[in-house]
Amino acid sequence: MNITHDCVASFHYILTDNSGKILDSSEGHEPLSYLHGAGNIIPGLESALEGKVVGEKLSVNVPAAQAYGVHDNSLIQELPSTMFSGIEQIEVGMEFHAETEHGMQVVTVTKVEGDKVTIDGNHPLAGIDLNFAVEITEVRAATEEELTHGHAHGAGGHHH
């Protein structure tokens, strides 16, 4: 069967940036399973998988805007380190959940200088064009329960 709305599709993938650096991969794991048409995966990848069948291999280039969004400078803020009281040592790479005007977001510390801390609320993959090498391993009809939940169950999907 072809991948279409209300199918659960599974695929192996290797994700690289434009320089060829591997950012993520399903190698050594179960293939990723998702419910097609439910927005479980990024839109650019989901639309490229539409109509495909088991065994197909494809390369999908997803521009940043259709992946994790363009880099938004307004999500970068410099804060006084006093706002982080209670944390013994602030280090670059630390992640915090912060209430922002866009709702709850994960922010990453990108710079610590004196008593100033710079945080970035962009997704780590924001502004990066993504290249997926995909191999489809399974396509099946979704179960009633999966349709109700809006995601795939089983190996490579949700476990609960």
Nearer to Zn ion, 97 or 160 (CB): 160
CB 58 within 8 A of CB 32: no
Residue 36 token pair? 């097609």
Nearer to Zn ion, 71 or 149 (CB): 149
CB of 25 to Zn ion, least distance (A): 25
CB of 159 to Zn ion, least distance (A): 9
Binding site for Zn ion (CB under 5 A): 149, 158
Nearer to Zn ion, 140 or 149 (CB): 149
Cβ contacts of residue 14 below 8 Å, gap of 6+?
A: 22, 24, 25, 26, 27, 132, 133
Q: Looking at beta carbons, which pairs linking 85-89 to residues 24 or more positions away fall under 8 Å?
A: none
CB of 132 to Zn ion, least distance (A): 24
Give me the residue whose beta carbon is nearest to Zn ion: 149
